[in-house]
Chains A and B, each alone.
Chain A
Amino acid sequence: MSSFPFLLVMILLPAVGAAVIAALPRGREQTAKQLALGVSLVVLLLAVLTTVAFDTNGPRFQLTTSVSWIPDFGVRFALGVDGIALVMLLLIGVLVPVVVAASWNDTAAGNRSMRAFFAWLLLLEAMMVGVFAATDVFVFYVFFEAMLVPMYFLIGSFGGPRRQYAAVKFFLYSLVGGLVMLAAVIGLYVVSSQQLAHGTFSFDALRNLQIDPGVQKLLFLGFFLAFAIKAPLVPFHTWLPDSGAEAPIGGGVLLVGVLDKVGTFGFLRYCLPLFPDASRAFAPWILGLAVAGILYAALLAMAQSDMKRLVAYTSISHFGFIALGIFAFTTEAGTGAVLYMVNHGISTGLLFLVVGMLIARGGSRQIGDYGGVASYAPLLAGSMLIAGLASLALPGTNSFVSEFLVLIGSFPTRPVYTIIATVGMILAALYILLMYQRTMNGPPRGVLLEELPPGAENGPVGGESAHDSVLDHHGGATATLTETATATAPARARLRIRDLSRRELAVVTPLIALIIALGVYPQPLLNLIRPAVSATMSDVGADPHGITPTHAPNKGK
C-alpha cells in the first residue's frame, strides 16, 4: 500500500475537483456542493489511509514521491511526510469537509456564484496539502505563494463589508514575507551549489550543509519573517484580525485553522534544522515576541466588541504558545507545539464556526447585539461553551494537553518566559467567558429580541415555554433581592432564534467529539509527532530524548 502515491493524489484530486466545479454551468450550485463535499471526504479518507501506511519507527520522510522538475536548478517535485506534516494533513482532511458542510447554505454577495466559492475552497485544499507535503524547498515556496491566491479570492469575493480592504492587506503582508523568503531560498541554493557538486533545493541535502553562522543568520531571518507574518507573531499580526473578521466563516476557519500553521510549521521544518546556529542565537528574541504576543493579543481579545475579531486575537495569543514551544528547544515542548497546531485548528475552528452560526442568525458581529441566547438555542450555546472551554485549555479538552506540554516542556530551559506565558491562562478564561456569557447568558436582549403582541404565548420559539417561564420566575424573585439584577427584558419578549439545524449539528459534532477524544486520549497523535520532533531537536543540538531532570529520582533502582 505504501507504494501508492497518496500525497500526489491528495494534491491532484481537489485540484481537479476545483477545475470541474469551476467548469460547471451556471445554476448547478447543488452539484458543486455535493462534488466539493465528496472530494473533501475522499481526501479525508486518503489522509487516514496515509496515517495507517505511515510507520512511526520508519525513516523520517515516508510515502515519498520525487519527480525531476527543473533539472537545471536541481528542483525536484518531491513530496513526503514526517509525523508533523502527517498530523497537519489529517487536520486539513477533517476541517475541509466540515467547512464545506458549514458553508452549504451560504450565499454570495452580488451576482457571484457559490460554485466559485467551492472551487476556490478545493483549490486551497490542494495547495495546503502541497505546502505541508513538500520536501523540496522550492516546491514548498511555490505552494506557499500559490496558497495566497485562493484565499485572496475567498476573502475578497465572499467576505464581509470590508472584504476588499482585508483581502488586499492579507495579500500585501503575505507577498512581502514571501518575497523575502524567496531571496533566502535562492541564497540557500547558492550555498548548496558552493558546497555540493550541484545546487539543490532538497530538504534532506540542505539539512546536511555546514553554513557559515553569519550567512545562517541572514537566511534564517528571510525565512523567519515570512513565517512570522504567516503565523502571525506580534508585531506582524495586524492583518489577521481584519482578514479573520472579513473572511467568510468557512474561509476564516481554514485561515486560522490551517493556513496560519504554515508559519509555525515553517519554523519547525525549515528554520530549526537548516539554520540551527541562527535559531539558537535568535531564540531569546523570538521567545520574547512569543510571550509578549500571548499577553498582548489576549488583552486585545478582551477589549474586542466584534466576535470574529475576538477569535482572531485569541488565535494570535495561541500562536505565541506554539512559538514558545518550538523555540524552547525541548522534545516535550516541541511535541506540545505540534499538537497545539492540530488542537488549535479543531477548537478555534469550532469556535469560529459557532460564532458564524450566531452571526448568521442575528446579522451582526457585535457581542453587544446578543444576550440570553442559551434559553432559546441551548445546543448553539452548549457548542460555543465547549469550543470556548477548549480554547481556554480546560483539562478534558484537547487543548489542555498541548498547552500543558508546551509549558511543562519550556519551563526547564526557559523558566522566566514560561512563567510569564502562564499568565495567559488567566486572560484566556477572561476573554472566553466574556464573549460566552454576554451573548448566551443574562436576560434576552439584542437584535434577535422580539416583543410579543398582547395575548401571545410568552415562550421561546422552540416550544420550551415551561423552561423559559420558570427561569423568569427565578429572575423575578432575585430582581427584588439583589441590586445588580436590574436589566431585565420587557415582560413580553422573546428571542427569535432557531437552535442548531441537523446540518449544523453534523458540522459541530465531529469537532466536539475530537475535542473530547483528544483531550482524554491524545497518545496516538503524540506517538505520530514525537519521532519527527526528536529528529528536529537533535538537528538544533538539543537532547532528542527529552529533558533531564535536575535530580533523577529513581537512579540506581
Chain B
Amino acid sequence: MHTVPASGLLAASWLLIALPLAGAAVLLLGGRRTDRWGHLLGVATVAVAFVIGLACTVQLGGMSGSKSVNLDLFTFISAGTLDVKAGLLFDPLSAIFVLLITGVGSLIHIYSVGYMADDPGRRRFFAYLNLFVAAMLLLVLGNSYVALYVGWEGVGLASFLLIAFWYRRPAAVTAAKKAFVMNRVGDVGLALAIFIMFAQLGTTSFVGVLGSTGALAGGVLTALGLLLLLGACGKSGQFPLQAWLPDAMEGPTPVSALIHAATMVTAGVYLIARSAPIYDHAPAARTVVTIIGAITLMIGAIAGCAYDDIKKVLAYSTVSQIGYMFLAVGLGPIGYVAGLAHLLTHGFFKAGLFLGAGSVMHAMNDSVDMRRFGGLWRRMPVTFATFGLGYLALIGFPLLSGYWTKDAIIEAAFDHGGTTGYVLGGVGVLGAGLTAFYMTRLMFMTFFGRPRWDAGSASTPVDPHESPGVMTVPMIVLAVGSVAAGYLLTQAFPLSAWLSPVFGTNKLESHVVAPLWIGVLVIGAMVLGVAAAWLFVGRREVPVVRPARVSPVVRAARNALYADAINESLFMRPGQWLARALVFVDNRRVDGAVNGIAATLGGSSARLGRAQTGFVRSYALGMLGGAVVVAGALLAVTAG
C-alpha cells in the first residue's frame, strides 16, 4: 500500500468531519436559543459535507498513480514506541462510504425536518444526528485502526443516544443499553486485534499493518481475522450479536433509516473489506466470515417472516441483507466488490423503505402494527409508489438494484467452488425466496386489502394522509436510487473498476454454475416467495389480533429463534447471580475477616462498630506503637 500526501481540496478533507461535529457542538451547547434554526444548521453541515465529499472524490478520480491519499493532522498518542497519528486516508474505498454517508445522510436530515417537526426535542435530535455523521465519517476516513476505533465507538454513542431519544419510554432506554453493551462486546474484539497489531508490527496504521501482513504467522493472521470479525459482528448485528438491532427500532424512524439500515450497521463490512490483506492470508477466518454471514442471513429472513411490527420486519431484513454482504466479503477477492455494491444499493432501498415506513407511521399516529394497517395505497400514493419500488429492488425484481447486486453475491458464492460454494450459494438462493415472502407479506398487510385501522379517539383520530413534501422528496430521490443504482454500479460505471486500486482486478473467466442458471434460480425463488405470500397472506383477510395457536416453527420465528432467551439465560442471569453472590462475599467474608483482624489489632472487642467510642484510644495506641517501633529500630541501627 503506497500513499501520497494530500493536496488541493483533499488537504481540507478534515472539514468533512469537522463540519458536522461543529454542528453538533453548536446545537448542544447553544441550548434553546438555537431551537428555531437548529434543524436547518443540522441539514446544512451534512449537505456541505456531501459537496466537499463529492469534490474530493472527483479530485481522487482524476489523480494518476497512487489513489491512497494520506493526511496526518496531529500526534494523538505517542508513548514509548507507540505512535498514533490523528490522520485521514482518502482512497476509493473510503470515498464510496463518504458519498453514501453524506448523500443518504443529507436526504434523511431533510426528511427529519418534517418527521420531527412536532417534537420539541428536534434540535437535540439534529445534534445527535450530526454527531453520528461526524463519527461515521471518522470511522471510514481514519488512517489507522485506532482512528477507526474512535469513530467506531463514536457511532456507538450516537446510536445509543438516538435509540433512547425518547428517553421516557422504558423500552427505548432498555434497547439503547442493549445496543451499547452488545456493541462493546464486539469492540473488545476490535481492541484486542489492535493490541496484537501493535505487539507484532509496532504500528496500528493501515499502511503499516496492511503493508506487512506477509511478515505475520498464519495463526496470528487467523486470530486477527476472527477478532476483527467479532468487532464487525457487534456493529453490524451479525450472529451471535444480532439481537440488539431489531430492538434499536425504538429510536425515531429516520435513525433507523440512517444508522440502523444504511450506514452504521454496514461498518462491519467496511472493516472486513478494509482489512482485506489480512483476510487474504487467513482462509480459515474467511470461512468463518462466510458461515456467520450465511447463518445471519437465514436468521434474519426467518424472523422477518413472523413479525407484525413494520419496523421490526425491516430491521430483520437489514440483519439478513448484511448477512449477504458478510457472506460476500468472506469469499475474498471475488466477493469484496459484490459485497460493497450490495452495501451501496441496500443503502438506497433500505433507507427508502424505512423512510416510507416512517411516512406510514406518521399517517397512523405512530402505530407500527401492520395488522392494523391495510389498504393504504389509496390514501398515500407517493409513499406507496416509492415504498413499492424499494420493495421490488429489495426482493431482486429483474433490472432493479437488488437484482444486480444480490445476484452478483450468489454468483460469487457458487464460484467459491466445492461443497462450500454450493452450500453458500444455496443459502443465498433460499434467502432470496424468504426475502420475497416476508416483503410481499409486508406489502399486502400494509398497502393492500381492507383498511383495518379503527377510528381512534376524538382527540387523535386516525385519518391516513400523505406526508408533506419535505418528507416525500427524499423518498422519491431514494426510490430513483433503488431503481437505478444497481445497473449504474454493476453495468454502466462498474464499481469493480473504481475499487481496483484497492482490491486489484479479479476477473473470473470460468464459472462453476453459469450465471444464466443462477439468474433463473434466484428469480424462481423470488416468484415462489411472492406466490407463497399471496397464498398465506394476500388472498385472505388479515386477522387484527395475532393468532395464538401456531406451529412451533412460527413461534420460534416470532421469538427471533430465541436469541434473547439464550443471551439472557447464558449471560445476563448468571451475571446477576454472580454479582449478587459477590456482594454477599464482599460484605460478609472479605470485609468481615479484615474487620475482625483490625478489631483484634486495635485491641477492642470483636465488633468494629463498638470501636467508635474507642477511637482516640486506638489512635493513641497506634501512634505509641509506631513510636516504639521507630525508637527500637533506630536503637538497633545505632547499636549495630
Q: Mark B589-603, 1 if CB is under 8 A from A, else 0.
A: 011001100100110
Q: How far does the Cβ of A1 sit from chain B's closest Cβ, in whole Å?
A: 28
Our pick among A73, A178, A303, A374 for the contact of B579 (Cβ within 8 Å) is A303
Q: A299-B582, A425-B184, A487-B170 are in contact. Are A182 and B626 (CB under 8 A)?
A: yes
State whether the Cβ of A471 lies closer than 8 Å to any Cβ in chain B. yes
Bound Cα distance A176, B608 (Å): 15
**From A187, which residue of chain B is reached at the shortest CB distance?**
B633
**From B121, which residue of chain A is reached at the shortest CB distance?**
A467
Q: A182-B630, A425-B188, A478-B171 are in contact. Are A412 and B199 (CB under 8 A)?
A: yes
Bound Cα distance A236, B199 (Å): 33
* CB–CB B199/A411 < 8 A: yes
Q: How far does the Cβ of A112 sit from chain B's closest Cβ, in whole Å?
A: 16
State whether the Cβ of A168 lies closer than 8 Å to any Cβ in chain B. yes
Bound Cα distance A478, B361 (Å): 12
* CB–CB A548/B81 < 8 A: yes
* CB–CB A183/B169 < 8 A: no
State whether the Cβ of B281 lies closer than 8 Å to any Cβ in chain A. no
* CB–CB B578/A299 < 8 A: yes
Q: How many residues of B contact A (CB 8 A)?
A: 91
Q: A429-B184, A433-B180, A551-B212 are in contact. Are A193 and B195 (CB under 8 A)?
A: no
State whether the Cβ of B177 lies closer than 8 Å to any Cβ in chain A. yes
Give every chain A residue within 8 A of B554 (Cβ-Cβ): none
Q: A175-B622, A412-B198 are in contact. Are A475 and B168 (CB under 8 A)?
A: yes
* CB–CB A186/B608 < 8 A: no
Q: A443-B168, A549-B202 are in contact. Are A183 and B79 (CB under 8 A)?
A: no
Q: Mark B187-228, 1 if CB is under 8 A from A, else 0.
A: 110011011101111110000100110011000000000000
State whether the Cβ of A197 lies closer than 8 Å to any Cβ in chain B. no
Bound Cα distance A173, B368 (Å): 59
**From A534, which residue of chain B is reached at the shortest CB distance?**
B80
Give every chain A residue within 8 A of B216 (Cβ-Cβ): 551
* CB–CB B199/A550 < 8 A: yes
Q: A190-B637, A551-B212 are in contact. Are A168 and B579 (CB under 8 A)?
A: no
Q: How far does the Cβ of A464 sit from chain B's closest Cβ, in whole Å?
A: 8
Q: Mark A419-430, 1 if CB is under 8 A from B, else 0.
A: 100110110011
Bound Cα distance A331, B77 (Å): 13
State whether the Cβ of B513 lies closer than 8 Å to any Cβ in chain A. no
Stretch at the interface among A36-44, A99-107, A519-527: A519-527
For this complex, into which size category does the number of interface residues on chain A fall? 35 or more
Give every chain A residue within 8 A of B466 (Cβ-Cβ): none
Give every chain B residue within 8 A of A330 (Cβ-Cβ): 80
Give every chain B residue within 8 A of A437 (Cβ-Cβ): 164, 173, 176-177
* CB–CB A407/B191 < 8 A: yes
* CB–CB B154/A484 < 8 A: no
Our pick among A186, A375, A433 for the contact of B633 (Cβ within 8 Å) is A186
Give every chain A residue within 8 A of B79 (Cβ-Cβ): 331-332, 335-336, 405, 409, 526, 529-530, 533, 546
State whether the Cβ of A296 lies closer than 8 Å to any Cβ in chain B. yes
State whether the Cβ of A169 lies closer than 8 Å to any Cβ in chain B. yes
Q: How far does the Cβ of A371 sit from chain B's closest Cβ, in whole Å?
A: 10
Residues of B597-616 contacting chain A, CB below 8 A: 598, 601-602, 608-609, 611-612, 615
Bound Cα distance A554, B630 (Å): 57
Residues of A478-499 contacting chain B, CB below 8 A: 478, 481-482, 484-485, 487
State whether the Cβ of B509 lies closer than 8 Å to any Cβ in chain A. no
Bound Cα distance A404, B196 (Å): 13
Q: How far does the Cβ of B171 sit from chain A's closest Cβ, in whole Å?
A: 4
**From B186, which residue of chain A is reached at the shortest CB distance?**
A426
* CB–CB A332/B157 < 8 A: no
Bound Cα distance A400, B177 (Å): 20
Q: How far does the Cβ of B598 sit from chain A's closest Cβ, in whole Å?
A: 5
Q: Mark A425-447, 1 if CB is under 8 A from B, else 0.
A: 11001100110010011111000
Q: A411-B195, A442-B168, A470-B119 are in contact. Are A551 and B582 (CB under 8 A)?
A: no
Stretch at the interface among A9-17, A48-56, A258-266, A389-397: A389-397
Q: A190-B637, A475-B168, A481-B369 are in contact. Are A441 and B80 (CB under 8 A)?
A: no
State whether the Cβ of A466 lies closer than 8 Å to any Cβ in chain B. yes
**From B208, which residue of chain A is reached at the shortest CB distance?**
A553
Q: How far does the Cβ of A106 sit from chain B's closest Cβ, in whole Å?
A: 23
Give every chain B residue within 8 A of A235 (Cβ-Cβ): 590, 594
Q: Mark B284-312, 1 if CB is under 8 A from A, else 0.
A: 00000000000000000000000000000
**From B174, which residue of chain A is reached at the shortest CB distance?**
A484
State whether the Cβ of B366 lies closer than 8 Å to any Cβ in chain A. yes
* CB–CB B602/A172 < 8 A: yes
Give every chain A residue within 8 A of B168 (Cβ-Cβ): 372, 375, 441-444, 471-472, 474-475
* CB–CB B637/A179 < 8 A: no
* CB–CB A441/B173 < 8 A: yes
* CB–CB B199/A395 < 8 A: no
Q: A411-B196, A411-B198, A553-B212 are in contact. Are A466 and B637 (CB under 8 A)?
A: no
* CB–CB A186/B630 < 8 A: yes
State whether the Cβ of B167 lies closer than 8 Å to any Cβ in chain A. yes
State whether the Cβ of B74 lies closer than 8 Å to any Cβ in chain A. yes
* CB–CB A332/B82 < 8 A: yes
State whether the Cβ of A366 lies closer than 8 Å to any Cβ in chain B. no
* CB–CB A179/B626 < 8 A: yes
Bound Cα distance A474, B251 (Å): 11
Which among A425, A429, A475 has the highest number of chain B CB atoms within 10 Å? Answer: A429
State whether the Cβ of A252 lies closer than 8 Å to any Cβ in chain B. no
Q: Mark B72-103, 1 if CB is under 8 A from A, else 0.
A: 00111111111000000000000000000000
Bound Cα distance A500, B196 (Å): 45
**From A530, which residue of chain B is reached at the shortest CB distance?**
B79
Our pick among B80, B191, B365, B630 for the contact of A547 (Cβ within 8 Å) is B80
State whether the Cβ of A113 lies closer than 8 Å to any Cβ in chain B. no
Our pick among A193, A419, A482 for the contact of B192 (Cβ within 8 Å) is A419
Q: A238-B594, A418-B195 are in contact. Are A423 and B80 (CB under 8 A)?
A: no
Q: How far does the Cβ of A444 sit from chain B's closest Cβ, in whole Å?
A: 8
State whether the Cβ of A21 lies closer than 8 Å to any Cβ in chain B. no
What would 12 A/B residue contacts be, using CB atoms closer than 8 Å? A168-B618, A176-B601, A183-B629, A238-B590, A300-B586, A330-B80, A396-B154, A405-B82, A422-B192, A474-B169, A526-B78, A551-B216
